[in-house]
Amino acid sequence: MTIKRRKFVKFLGLAGLSSQIPVLSVQAKLYSNTIIKPPRLKVGDTVGLISPAGIIEPQDIEVAKKALLTLGLKVKLGVHILDSYGYLAGKDIDRATDVNAMFGDRSVKAIITMRGGWGCNRILPLINYSLIRSHPKIFMGYSDITSLLLAIYARSGLITFHGPVATSTWNEFSVDYVKRILFNAEVVTMTNTLTTEIGRKIITPGKAKGKLVGGNLSVLSAMLGSSYLPSWQDSILFVEEIGEDIYRVDRMLTQLKNAGILNQIVGFVFGKCTNCSLGDEPSLTLAQVLKDHIQPLGIPAWYGSMIGHIKDKFTVPVGVDVEIDAENGTLRMLETAVR
């Protein structure tokens, strides 16, 4: 029996939120080819903090406030920021409501997620992408937040930011990129520094230009087959990972290959595979896996960019045009990410 959507929402006890829930689905992407740049941050602006994935503790909020106040920003907390539901920071509808509410709140100029974990994929059908498109603002996080970064970009056309979460280490390196990209609207060239232990390795030398798209590899793989992913045609794909055995990285890259994604991209950057291990012997190395999957593509590619679960991290705009140089390991923005 078919239930009309209005009755279905009422049946779930969500009638008051029905204006915030888009039609679910495998529908086509909701935006044209128009890309939206959010307004830049200014000292004195209010930043909204939300927990769309894993649980946080009250002390996490105090740490986040301290870091953001140092940047001259004010803080507004999501209503459900301290909720818990098993390993999730509250029920799906409540976490989604905080996302929608922050985008709809005109006093909030940017939204920063508290942490990753797991849970963002669960709330993608409950996000109001039309509201986001009409109220564009900076949205930033990484790890499990990849789901929201990609879905918001795909469904609304809004450039999002793969960068520090509120509980990250807001050190001099990371803050510098936040300021230059989000406050100053600079066109930045991201280059590794000597302060990192990341070992950069060239997979295939060369330069390439395209739209920068990506995030956490396992989260991205879990989104395949959904309607919340952007076009990969002529894009630069960046990925990062943490705590996975190499065979799992192999499996996820194979999944991207079999889904037809790898043969559409024009460049590839693997950030950091933090605490990734060989697992049970025998095993391929990460270098061998990347060589097997990426080198045959014949596109500029390298491993070891400062992206991922590391203290010193770039703020990476999802959806901007960039040029990568695999030999020198640079990622050069070709346009500003904010206006």
Supply the residues annotated as catalytic: 143, 240, 309
Maximum separation of any 2 CA atoms in the chain, in Å: 63
For residue 24 the two structure tokens come to: 């679910």
How many other CB atoms sit within 10 Å of the CB of residue 9? 17
How many other CB atoms sit within 10 Å of the CB of residue 102? 25
Rounded to 5 degrees, φ, ψ at 258 are -70, -20
Q: Are strands 301-303 and 108-113 parallel, antiparallel or unpaired?
A: unpaired
For residue 219 the two structure tokens come to: 């989260």
How many other CB atoms sit within 10 Å of the CB of residue 33? 7
How many other CB atoms sit within 10 Å of the CB of residue 200? 14
SS3 155: helix
From CA 290, how far away is CA 69, in angstroms rounded?
41
From CA 94, how far away is CA 79, in angstroms rounded?
9
Q: How many residues belong to the chain?
A: 339
From CA 330, how far away is CA 305, in angstroms rounded?
8
SS3 201: strand
For helices 246-258 and 286-294, angle between their N-to-C axes, nearest 10 degrees: 10
Q: Which residue has the tokens 């993608």?
A: 124
Q: What angle do CA 239, 211, 294 make, to 5 degrees?
A: 45
Residues 6+ apart with CB under 8 A from 23: 5
